[in-house]
């Protein structure tokens, strides 16, 4: 028996849509290819799985027995594959870098800042190691390359010279040397000298020059870091001979750096494995460090990053990717989407607050992060009004109350009657910290029922439990609940607010079932870091407004059962202030 995973997915699509043509559109195949796939599965199993008619397709008894567990099995497999893919993506986008201490604390932070700006999807893991250990890490393959000192290295390593690092003398401002522009090395014989230890690189060359000028190296005071040397100089414990790259470029109190005569140099280089090609990300980081060290910041062109605070292939991810595609076309530059998931959507927004305010990072924020966490009195990760710049609304979303097919309720009246008969027996899910949680509390208050609440980190895991009969009901976004409703594993009872949803046009609105106040202004907005320059804010806001008004985005959003939100940044900020107060009063009400 040979049945492929693709054939099983086609069978599931036919079962859920009840149509060969609709299934063909869903899986991206032609209708004849769908028919052929179904026949192949039936022949392999030796049973008929579908009853076909001119108007629709239904499962046979054997088909029901196969499809019921198949849906959960494929979903579980999809979760495993997605987690594996995400783990692989994270590993692929990590660059391992070793560096000697004197370089990791001076040159490297500026280089890593360039990497963060130009390659926002790449993480650099730094190993601070002694000179010889850093080169050995490259040779052993535990790092991609190393930033170290030396004009040579093991024969199996490729060296790329960055720059010549001059040694300077560091003394107190009241020391006699402080009045000179340069100090002869021969005049250092009577000084107490402080130098960096060999782990920092370049000591052999320095010692050779000192010995050549009659300065003993047996009485040198060795330290591991330049900061220790500075403090010792301040306390009149000697003068220090340090690489110029370790000396701050800003004014230092009490100490001064002076040139040496003759020059003493150390060669700062990048070392990689000679016969191995660096990955694309490692090569990009390598080149950015090279550019910074040679006096520039050229490198990879920076994309604009949109941070989505929920998982891939979820509703919010769909909104974000549709918007990002059109924003990139409008700005004429690359726009990438990064999913930063956790804390019910707050972790992604937190990442926005910690980004550079230069217009290259924006994010999507939901009601959970902007409204309900502050309104609940919980200590937030950030101050919505101090730590964010509101750019615009993005999308307005109604919520649909669905119940699992394992319950006996098929409309709101039946659900209310059953819940009143069995207080606390029915479990309602709270997907994240946003509208779903608040609507659950509002439903209880407005219908006079008692439910048991269960928290989830998003809608997808809540719907998984709903389909398995482990959860009785949940409020979810239309595009999220649609598949379960069409498959008969859930029933939609109402749509919040006063309008029906285009994707579920036969489901009544909350107003129609007598709950006019069962609504939140659900949706998502676009935010940026605080203190965004006015010129950048104006450019971004204009581009966002044009994208939201485009026919293409409106059509895409309509297919997902949502509408664009045209509210400007300042308007949306005022809306958030008013809603926080309203919901805080609601939660404090007895």
Distance CA 581, CA 576 (A): 9
Distance CA 531, CA 539 (A): 15
CATH code that applies to domain 304-396+523-588: 3.40.190.150
pTM above 0.75, yes or no: no
What is the band of 365 on the pLDDT scale with cuts at 50, 70, 90? Answer: very high
Q: Tell me whether strands 255-261 and 563-564 are parallel, antiparallel or unpaired.
A: unpaired
What is the band of 46 on the pLDDT scale with cuts at 50, 70, 90? Answer: confident
Distance CA 329, CA 543 (A): 10
Q: Is the model's pLDDT at 414 over the cut of 50?
A: yes
Q: Cβ distance 22 to 12 under 8 Å?
A: no
pLDDT of 417-461, one tens digit each?
A: 999 989 999 999 987 666 777 888 889 988 999 999 998 877 778
In the prediction, which pLDDT does 375 show?
Answer: 47
Best-predicted range by mean pLDDT (75-84, 137-146, 249-258): 137-146
Q: What is the 3-state secondary structure (H, E, C) of 214-229?
A: CCCCCCCEEECCHHHH
Which of these, 336, 253, 275, lies nearest to 139 by C-alpha position?
A: 275
The full set of domain ranges for the chain reads 5-87, 92-300, 304-396+523-588, 400-518
CATH architecture of 400-518: 3-Layer(aba) Sandwich (3.40)
In the prediction, which pLDDT does 474 show?
Answer: 93
- Where do the H-state alpha helices sit in 100-169? 101-104, 107-118, 131-140
* Mean pLDDT lowest among 139-153, 298-312, 556-570: 298-312
pLDDT of 213-265, one tens digit each?
A: 998 877 789 998 888 999 999 999 999 999 988 887 666 778 999 999 999 99
- Where do the H-state alpha helices sit in 432-531? 435-447, 459-467, 478-486
In the prediction, which pLDDT does 24 show?
Answer: 77
Q: Is the model's pLDDT at 362 over the cut of 60?
A: yes
Q: Is the model's pLDDT at 357 over the cut of 50?
A: yes
Token representation of residue 232: 């010792």
Question: Is CATH 3.40.50.150 the right assignment for the domain spanning 5-87?
Answer: no
Q: Is the model's pLDDT at 347 over the cut of 80?
A: yes
Q: Is the model's pLDDT at 372 over the cut of 90?
A: no
Distance CA 213, CA 191 (A): 14
Total residue length of the chain: 590
Residue 526 β-bridge partners: 364, 392
Token representation of residue 130: 């002694």
Calculate mean pLDDT across residues 118-138.
87
Distance CA 442, CA 421 (A): 19
pLDDT of 94-124, one tens digit each?
A: 899 999 888 876 678 888 888 887 777 788 9
Token representation of residue 338: 């990064």
In the prediction, which pLDDT does 297 show?
Answer: 47
Distance CA 569, CA 525 (A): 9
First to last CA, the chain: 63
In the prediction, which pLDDT does 589 show?
Answer: 64
In the prediction, which pLDDT does 200 show?
Answer: 83
Distance CA 549, CA 537 (A): 18
CATH code that applies to domain 92-300: 3.40.190.290
pLDDT of 513-556, one tens digit each?
A: 988 888 776 689 999 999 888 889 999 999 999 999 999 999 99
Instruction: Answer whether 5-87 and 400-518 agree in fold.
Output: no
Rounded to 5°, the CA angle 258-260-261 comes to: 140
Q: Is the model's pLDDT at 88 over the cut of 60?
A: no
Distance CA 146, CA 136 (A): 9
Beta strands in 367-496 (DSSP E): 389-396, 400-404, 427-431, 452-456, 473-476, 490-495
């Amino acid at each position: 028996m040979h049945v492929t995973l693709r054939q099983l997915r086609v069978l599931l699509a036919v079962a859920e849509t009840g149509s060969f043509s609709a299934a063909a559109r869903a899986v991206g195949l032609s209708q004849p290819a769908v028919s052929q796939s179904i026949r192949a599965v039936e022949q392999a199993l030796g049973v008929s799985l579908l009853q076909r008619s001119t108007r629709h397709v239904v499962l046979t008894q054997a088909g029901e027995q196969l499809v019921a567990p198949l849906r959960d099995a494929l979903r579980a497999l999809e979760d495993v594959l997605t987690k594996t893919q995400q783990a692989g993506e994270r590993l692929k986008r990590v660059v391992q870098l070793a560096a000697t201490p004197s370089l990791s604390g001076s040159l490297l932070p500026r280089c890593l800042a360039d990497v963060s700006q130009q390659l926002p999807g790449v993480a650099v893991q730094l190993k601070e190691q002694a000179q010889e250990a850093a080169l050995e890490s490259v040779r052993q393959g535990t790092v991609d390359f190393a930033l170290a000192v030396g004009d040579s290295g093991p024969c199996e390593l490729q060296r790329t010279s960055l720059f010549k690092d001059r040694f300077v003398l560091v003394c107190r401002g009241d020391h006699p040397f402080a009045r000179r522009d340069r100090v002869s090395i021969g005049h250092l014989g009577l000084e107490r000298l402080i130098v960096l230890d060999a782990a920092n690189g370049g000591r052999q060359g320095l010692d050779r020059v000192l010995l050549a000028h009659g300065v003993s190296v047996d009485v040198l005071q060795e330290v591991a870091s330049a900061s220790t040397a500075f403090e010792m100089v301040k306390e009149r414990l000697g003068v220090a001979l340090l690489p110029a790259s370790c000396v701050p470029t800003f004014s230092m109190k009490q100490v001064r750096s002076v040139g040496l005569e003759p020059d003493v140099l150390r060669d700062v280089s990048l070392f990689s494995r000679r016969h191995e090609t660096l990955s694309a990300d490692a090569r990009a980081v390598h080149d950015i460090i090279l550019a910074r060290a040679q006096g520039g910041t050229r490198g990879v062109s920076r994309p604009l990053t949109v941070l989505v605070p929920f998982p891939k292939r979820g509703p919010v991810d769909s909104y974000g990717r549709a918007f990002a595609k059109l924003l990139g076309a409008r700005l004429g530059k690359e726009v990438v989407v990064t999913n930063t998931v956790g804390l019910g959507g707050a972790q992604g927004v937190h990442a926005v607050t910690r980004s550079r305010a230069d217009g290259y990072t924006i994010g999507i924020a939901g009601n959970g992060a902007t409204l309900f966490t502050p309104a609940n009195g919980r200590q937030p990760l950030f101050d919505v009004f101090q730590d964010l710049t509101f750019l615009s609304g993005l999308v307005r979303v109604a919520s649909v109350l669905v119940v699992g097919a394992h319950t006996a309720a098929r409309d709101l009246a039946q659900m209310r009657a059953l819940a009143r008969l069995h207080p606390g027996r029915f479990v309602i899910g709270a997907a994240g910290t946003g509208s779903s949680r608040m609507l659950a509390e509002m439903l209880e208050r407005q219908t006079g029922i008692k439910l048991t609440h269960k928290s989830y980190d998003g809608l997808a895991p809540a719907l998984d439990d709903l389909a398995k009969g482990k959860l009785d009901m949940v409020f979810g976004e239309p595009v999220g609940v649609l598949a379960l409703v069409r498959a008969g594993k859930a029933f939609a009872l109402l749509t919040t607010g006063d309008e029906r949803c285009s994707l579920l046009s036969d489901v009544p609105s909350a107003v129609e079932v007598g709950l006019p106040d069962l609504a939140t202004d659900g949706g998502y907005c676009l935010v940026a870091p605080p203190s965004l320059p006015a010129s950048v804010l104006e450019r971004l806001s204009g581009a966002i407004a044009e994208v939201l008004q485009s026919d293409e985005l409106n059509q895409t959003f309509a297919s997902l059962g949502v509408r664009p939100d045209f509210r400007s940044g300042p308007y949306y900020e005022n809306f958030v202030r008013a809603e926080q107060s309203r919901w805080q009063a609601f939660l404090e009400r007895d």
